[in-house]
Structure 1
Amino acid sequence: MKAAVYYGPNKLEIDDVPEPDPRPGTVKLLVGYNGICGTDLHEYYAGPIFVPTEPHPLTGAQLPLTMGHEFSGTITAVGDGVTGWSEGDRVAVEPVYRCGTCAPCRAGNYNVCAQIGFHGLMSDGGMAEFSIVPTEMLHRLPDSVGLELGALVEPMSVAYHAATLGDVSAGDTAVVFGAGPIGIGLWFALRGKGLEDVFVVEPSPTRRAAIEALGATTLDPGGADVPAFIAEHTRGAGADAVFDAAGVTPAVATALACVGSRKPMVSVAIYEKPLETPLLNLVMNESRIQGSLCYTGADFEAVIALMAQGAYDTTGWVTRISLDDVIDEGFEALHAGTKMKVLVDPNEGK
């Protein structure tokens, strides 16, 4: 079968690899779509970062390996001991390996497992025609949710988890910084939680236009005093939560200037450079920074339920490509900023 195999920085090859068979406790998936994530870009251009160069403690896998951790598929075979799943079932994959014994795992917070691993980063993943997946990673897709949306459940669950940590509810004001895929996911999640007063701050005209077409209200930080606008809009109270999906110093500084007293800035971005955090703002406002990592199964189920209700729309920001085009039309296009979200179809035309 064809697979996108990662060998190191700037070396991702479409190879012909052996088609795998399911092991006990796993299923074999015919991959529907696999999304290219920002983490994949970091690995391709600057890695290996998360991809292990010696056997991972939970998976035993190491470089080289097949990439892809945002994917959906259809079960074509089940391994020994598998119950509750059958050939033809359509699923989204929650790609987290966890130890089950560390303190976070014992508390139910396996998304911050001390030995966390990801299918497609610490094992062969979904950027291939087939993938072998443990049953604990499977989430059933209802008939109303197609495989394209199914591949977006993972990144949308990253955003939904962050939105939940913001502890907001209907009637609150929220501000999202960054209108990339996670920022878009935050807007969908907040709307799904009943918030109508949500602003998205984004300097790129292209990204602003894309999320505005979905119905969002945007602010251009280059043309508006965002903290002054939020202060006036909230009668001085500030936002009930702000969310950083941008990962750059100006966004963080502006976000902290917008957040209300004793309210959170939820950080769901990856920071490539050290940040200077204005602690005085936090002290004087008694506000806080809340980190957000990944998701749990509850976030997956919540996103799938919202998708079944028609709450997510891929119009204008999602592009579909074949596996053969994954470098030029996928990684290079995303790196250049000419595309926002790319879904790879490894079985195009089959």
Structure 2
Amino acid sequence: MLIARTVARETIRYEDIPEPALEPGHALVRVHNVTLCGTDLHIWEDDYPAGLPVIQGHEFAGTVEAIGTNDAGIRTGDRVAVSPMVYCGLCRPCRLGRFNVCENIGCIGCYSDGALVEILSVPVEKLCPVPDSLELDLAAMAEPASIAMQAVNRGRPSPGETALVLGSGPIGLLATLYLTDLGVSVVCADTEPDRLALASMFGAVDTLLVDPRSDFPGADQAVRLDAVTDSSGPELVIEATGVPSSLETAVRLVASAGRIVQVGISARTASVPMNAVPFKEIDLLGSRNSLNLIPAGLELLARHRDQAGALITHRFAFGDLQQAFELMRSRTEPVGKIVVDMPASQSARPAGTGALTGVRA
């Protein structure tokens, strides 16, 4: 079978290797679609703790090629997404039920070889059946959906509250979608007008365009934010950018007794007035991975197929991975989710659907 291995900085090598054999407790999954995220870009740039070489691909879906008897009732031919997170079950976080921050955490496609292969062997317990109404390219995004849902759940939202979501990339948009489903009014802020247009589609009641050169919110924006929060500030803020000034904004704007969830990741340092946290009695919470929320993520995507499809801005064939990563890095045009169509997906594609590289129809 054909694989794509990232062997050095910005270098992908395609190789022919034997197909994996079926092992007890595992299934063979024929990969149809892989979606790419910022972590994939960091790995490709050799700016990730796990190091190279590695076969990338941790957001993916496909069909079961082979499987033995299993308690989940999954059979050959079933459509599945795969939970890529690996945890030990023995460390203190795992014993507390917080395995999403396992001290020995791993991830298929990040710390070990992943889904940029034709067939992948995975433990049966990692398989998540895809709803009949959901296409496999959308199902591949269940992993980022699960991350967004984990962040929202950490914030303990209640119907009738107002949330401010800082950042309208895929995680921020999926968090907006989930919050709206839960009966929360959402205001989204971002520096890109195109992303804010999507935020409205995902349920935001208002959107605020951030000018990095000016104070945020501006006078008019502050009036609009006051109007939806009774001048008290949002009860919940989801920080989904990883930009230090955005966390500072969250602390400044959140309501007293409010909650901030930091899901955007950065190694940079934020400067936060220490008195703001106790004076407002803010709950400042981190969020990483998810507590096995990929099945819930699949259901969220299945309920909102139009919004899920709108996340996808580009498609590339398996043989064009180098171009996909170069596009992610260059940012010469707006990039949301990039779908990689694997050979199984290409053979399933009806005739006359056109090029695989380009914007989703």
Query: In 2, distance between residues paired with 1:240 and 1:134?
Result: 40
Query: In 2, distance between residues paired with 1:227 and 1:283?
Result: 23
**Residue number among 296, 303, 320 corresponding to 2:291 in the alignment:** 296
> In structure 1, what residue type is equivalent to 2:144?
P
Query: In the TM superposition, what is the alpha-carbon distance from 1:203 to its structure 2 partner?
Result: 0.7
Query: In 1, distance between residues paired with 2:181 and 2:309?
Result: 18
Partner of 1:212: 200
Alignment pair present for 1:108 and 2:108: no
Partner of 1:341: 337
Partner of 2:354: none
Deviation larger for 36-45 or 216-225 = 216-225
CA separation of 1:275 and 1:164: change in aligned 2, threshold 3 A? same
Q: Cα deviations across residues 165-192 of structure 1 (Å, max 9, x unaligned)?
A: 1111211100111111111111111112
Alignment pair present for 1:269 and 2:250: no
Query: In the TM superposition, what is the alpha-carbon distance from 1:143 to its structure 2 partner?
Result: 0.8
**Residue number among 228, 231, 242 corresponding to 1:247 in the alignment:** 242
TM-score (norm 1): 0.89
- Is the Cα–Cα contact under 8 Å of residues 94 and 154 in structure 1 kept in the other structure? yes
- Is the Cα–Cα contact under 8 Å of residues 227 and 257 in structure 1 kept in the other structure? no
- Is the Cα–Cα contact under 8 Å of residues 138 and 309 in structure 2 kept in the other structure? no
> In structure 2, what residue type is equivalent to 1:13?
R
- Is the Cα–Cα contact under 8 Å of residues 227 and 254 in structure 1 kept in the other structure? no
Partner of 1:56: none
Partner of 1:199: 187
> In structure 1, what residue type is equivalent to 2:187?
F
Number of matched pairs: 336
Query: In the TM superposition, what is the alpha-carbon distance from 1:289 to its structure 2 partner?
Result: 1.5
Partner of 2:146: 157
Q: Cα deviations across residues 34-88 of structure 1 (Å, max 9, x unaligned)?
A: 11111111111242x2325xxxxxxxxxx42211101111000125878632101
**Residue number among 274, 280, 287 corresponding to 2:275 in the alignment:** 280
- Is the Cα–Cα contact under 8 Å of residues 225 and 233 in structure 2 kept in the other structure? yes
Query: In 2, distance between residues paired with 1:258 and 1:71?
Result: 37
Alignment pair present for 1:127 and 2:122: no
CA separation of 1:309 and 1:85: change in aligned 2, threshold 3 A? same
Query: In 2, distance between residues paired with 1:235 and 1:215?
Result: 20
Query: In 2, distance between residues paired with 1:134 and 1:76?
Result: 13
CA separation of 1:24 and 1:300: change in aligned 2, threshold 3 A? same
Superposed CA RMSD in Å reads 2.0
> In structure 2, what residue type is equivalent to 1:349?
Q
CA separation of 1:83 and 1:233: change in aligned 2, threshold 3 A? closer
Partner of 1:51: 50
Deviation larger for 102-111 or 170-179 = 102-111
What aligned pairs does 1:165-244 form with structure 2 within 5 A after superposition?
165-195=154-184, 197-216=185-204, 217-222=206-211, 224-225=217-218, 226=221, 229-244=224-239
Partner of 1:138: 127
Q: Unmatched 5+ residue regions in structure 2? A: 348-361
Query: In the TM superposition, what is the alpha-carbon distance from 1:106 to its structure 2 partner?
Result: 1.6
Partner of 1:22: 22
Partner of 2:199, secondary structure, is helix
Query: In the TM superposition, what is the alpha-carbon distance from 1:296 to its structure 2 partner?
Result: 1.6
- Is the Cα–Cα contact under 8 Å of residues 177 and 202 in structure 2 kept in the other structure? no
Query: In the TM superposition, what is the alpha-carbon distance from 1:279 to its structure 2 partner?
Result: 1.9
Q: Unmatched 5+ residue regions in structure 1? A: 53-62
Partner of 1:41: 41
**Residue number among 302, 305, 310 corresponding to 1:308 in the alignment:** 302
> In structure 2, what residue type is equivalent to 1:43?
I
> In structure 2, what residue type is equivalent to 1:290?
L
CA separation of 1:133 and 1:292: change in aligned 2, threshold 3 A? same
Q: Give percent identity, aligned residues only.
A: 34
